[in-house]
Amino acid sequence: MKKFSFISDRFLNRLFLVVTITNIITSITLSQQTFKIFSPNNKTRVQIIVDSSIKLSVAYNDTNIFDISNVKIIELNNNAIFENFEFIESKTNYVEKEYHPVIKTKSAVIKEKYNRLILSFKNFNFELRAYNEGIAYRFIGKINKEVLIKNESLNISFPKNTFTYFPEETSMFSHNERLYLFEKIDSMNSGRFCSLPVLMISQKINVLLTESSLQNYAGMWLEKKDKLKFTAVFPKYPQNTKLVSDRDEKVVSTENYIVNTNSLRKFPWRIFAISENDEGLLSNQLVWLLSEKNILDDTKWIKPGKVAWDWWNANNIYNVDFKAGINTKTYKYYIDFAAKFGIEYIILDEGWYKLGDLFDVVPDIDMKELISYAKSKNVGIILWVVWKTLEQQFDKAFEQFEKWGIKGIKVDFMQRDDQWMVNFYEKVAAEAARHKLLVDFHGSYKPAGLYRKYPNVLTSEGVKGLENSKWSNCITPEHDLILPFTRMVAGPMDYTPGAMKNAAKGNFVGIFNAPMSQGTRVHQMAMYVIYESPLQMLCDNPSNYLKEQEVMEFLSPVPVQWDTTKIIQAKISDYIITARKYQENWYLAVMNDWEPRKFYISLNFLDDNKKYKMLIFKDGKNAHRYGSDYIKENNEVTSKSSVDIELAPGGGYVCRIIPIE
C-alpha cells in the first residue's frame, strides 16, 4: 500500500491516499502545516513541517534515523522568491517506471518506484520523493527572474551513537580523493567538513548523503556543526582566480553568493539513500534515477571498454628492442598488446604534448602515424589533457581531436565544483559529444548525474584510487572495501585497478616508477567485476601482462557493462560477494580486507536445467606471504552447485561461468 497523509492546525483529520489518488488543498494559509509520506514498502516515513522553512523527520521501521531542518534557499538580492512560504496546495501520487539505460553500469533495466509529495508555494514548488531505497528532495522555481543565491540551507541531525565514514577535506580546492574515516559523530569537532558522498550509520541503518542533477549550480559539501548536527556548505562563486601552475587554477577571491541563476528552474536533488543492510548500498541507483535524462539523439558511437594505461606503470616495459618512453614505438607496443587481447583503447597520459599547448606534440610522438596504426588494429586512442589548456584552446582543440581521429579525452586537474566549474564540466561533455568523443573526468568531483545526461561521460575519478600506491601505503584492502559502499554509490569510479605486482601484508613499499598493490593478485582481478567503470583501466604495463598471459586471457573478456547484478553478501570495509551477468555469461567475484575468510556460496542464481563450465582464479596457498600467488582451476557446475571459497588476507576470488551448449 502507498500511503500519504496531510495534517494542518486547522484540519486535524488524517487522510491516507492510495496509489495515484491526488490530494489537493487549495489556497490555505496557515502558520504551520504537517504532511507525511511513506516509501512504497512503508518502511520509511517522512514527516514534513512547513512554517518559515521546511523541516523533515525521517523514520525507518518507526525509529527516527535523522532530522533535516531549516531547508530553504536564501537569496542575496532580496527578491524573496524562495523565502516566501505562502502555501497554495499539496499533491501526492505514486510513480512506477522502467528504464533501459544507454550505458548498463549495473543493469540493463532500472526500475523506479516512489511516492511523491509536491508542496506548491506562491513562487516555487518543493518536491519530495520517498523510494524504498531512500528519499530525495529538490526545489523547483516558478518565477522567471535572475537571482543571486547566498546559500541553500540544510541542517541534518542524527541520534546519539551515530557513526560515519567521513571523507574529510581540508580545502574546497581538492581532487576529492579522500580516505573514509570511521568515527562516532558525537566526538567529532565542529568545523570539520567533507565532500560527498558521505555515509552515516544511524540506529544501525545506513544513510548515504549525496546529490544529483547538479547543473548550473555549486556542489554540496557537509560541515560538522553542533554535537549531532551537520550543515550543507557550498563553494562561493569565484570572483578572481590565479593560475599557479599549468594545471592548478586557484580561487583567490569570491563573490558573496554561491549561484547566479534564473529562478525558473529545477534545482539539484538532495539524496539520502537508506538501507538496513550494506548490500542495499551496492544496488542503489538513485543518483542515476534522479539525473537529467539522456539528451543525445545518437549514442550508437559510444563504446565502453577497457584501456591500457601508461602513467601508473611509468612505461616500464621490457624485452623490447627500443628505448621505452613517451614515443611512437612505445605506444605501438601498447596498441599491439591491446589488439592481441581485444582491449578497446590505449591512453596517452601526461607527456604527449608540451604543457600549455595541445597542438605542440612532443617530437618523439608521430600522432598521425600512431592513430593510423591504432585504427588498423581496431584500437582507439584516448588523450590526457589539462583542463585549463583545454579551456584556453577549446574550439580548436576539439576540432583537432576529431580531425586526428582520437576516441576520447581524459580531462584532469579541475579540483573544484563551484558553479563556474560545474558548468565547464557540462560544456566539455556537450562539445565532446558533438565531436563523438568519450570523456573521463580526473581531478574531479564525484559523479552527480552528468553521466546519464551525456552518456559519453563514461567514468570519473573523485576517488582515492590505486594511483596513490605509487607514493603512499594508504590504499589498503580495507580501503578497497569501503569505496563500493560510499564513492561508488554516486556513480562510475575510475579507481584504475590491475596491478600485477602484489604485496602481502607487511611487504608493501611505495615505489613511484615500479608500483605495486596491497593484497593479492586475485584481489585486483576481482575488481574488474566488483568495481563499476564503463571505461576501465588496466594500470600495469603490457610486459607484465604478457609475462602471465592467462591473467589477461581472463580479464580481457570481462565486460564493463552488465545486464544483471546480484549482491550476494557484503559488509562495508570487510568483504563483498557479487555476481553479475552479461548476455549468457555470469561472473562471480569476492574481495576481502586483511582478515582471512571462508565462504560457502550457492550458485542458485544460475539458470535451472543448464550446465556451465567455470574458469576460476583464486588465492594461492602462499598468497598470505607472496601476494602474486594464485591458482587457476576449471570446473563444471549447475544451479544446484555451491562453491567453497577461502580467501587469503587482502584476498580475492573471481570466476567466469559459461553455459555448456
Active site residues: 412, 467
CA dihedral of residues 611, 613, 618, 621 (deg, nearest 10): 100
Residue type at 160?
Answer: K
Grid coordinates given for 436:
563523438
Grid coordinates belonging to 112? 523506479
CA distances from 656 to 396, 498, 612 (A): 45, 17, 10
Instruction: Specify whether the CB–CB gap between 299 and 340 falls below 8 A.
Output: no
CA distance linking residue 275 with residue 227, whole number of Å: 24
d(CA 631, CA 619): 6
Q: What angle do CA 168, 220, 431 make, to 5 degrees?
A: 115
**How far apart, in Å, are the Cα atoms of 165 and each of 189, 277, 463?**
15, 15, 14
Helix then strand then coil, % of the chain, to nearest 5: 15, 40, 45
State whether residue 620 is helix, strand or coil.
Answer: coil
Whether residue 197 is preceded by a cis peptide bond, meaning omega within 30 degrees of 0, is yes
Q: Check: CB of residue 565 under 8 Å from CB of residue 578.
A: yes
SS3 429: helix
**CA gap 646, 569 in Å, rounded:** 15
The DSSP letter of residue 607 is P
Q: What does each C-alpha distance from 124 to 88, 152, 653 come to in angstroms?
A: 10, 14, 52
Measured CA to CA in angstroms, residue 640 lies from 180, 601, 610, 658 at distances of: 39, 11, 10, 15
Task: For residues 604 and 640, give the distance between their C-alpha atoms in angstroms, rounded to a whole number.
Answer: 6
Alpha carbon distance 640, 414 (integer Å): 51
